[in-house]
Amino acid sequence: MAETMLDEAYYKLLHDLQAVDFVLVELNLYLDTHPGDEAAIAQFNQYAELRKRIAAQYEAAYGPLMNFGHSMSKTPWQWKEAPWPWQV
């Protein structure tokens, strides 16, 4: 419940990640019904690469984004630390 003090840089990086992820969700759904669109697939792959870079930057600064081994942890175990998404 404790609202961690997060700086402006946190919200900027989170916003960048949400923006690139929005592009990927949109392209993903579009490709589900337009599987032959080569340009859209190229764009999807390009943004998937960009996504990896932004997520790595976010995790280095603010901890793991995903559970079950999709993100690494420092010691002590970082995953269980607040803030959770509804607390920021």
Partner 1 sequence: MFVYEKKLQYPVRVSKCDPLMAKFLMEQYGGADGELAAALRYLNQRYTIPDKVIGLLTDIATEEFSHLEMIATMIYKLTKDATPDQLKAAGLGAHYAAHDNALFYTNAAGVPWTASYIQAKGDPIADLYEDIAAEEKARATYQWLIDLTDDVDLQDSLKFLREREIVHSLRFREAVEILKEEQDRKIFF
Q: With contact defined as beta carbons under 8 Å apart, do 27 and 40 qualify?
A: yes
Q: CA-CA distance, 9 to 6, in Å (whole number)?
A: 8
Exactly one of 8, 67, 76, 77 binds partner 1 (CB under 8 A); which one?
67
Site for partner 1 in 24-53 (CB under 8 A): 25-26, 28-30, 32-34
In the complex, minimum distance from the CB of residue 33 to partner 1, in angstroms, rounded to a whole number: 4
Position of tokens 């942890």?
73
| CA 11-16-20 angle, 5° bins | 150
- Please give the residue ranges that form the binding site for partner 1 (CB under 8 A): 14-15, 17-18, 21-22, 25-26, 28-30, 32-34, 64-68, 70, 84-86
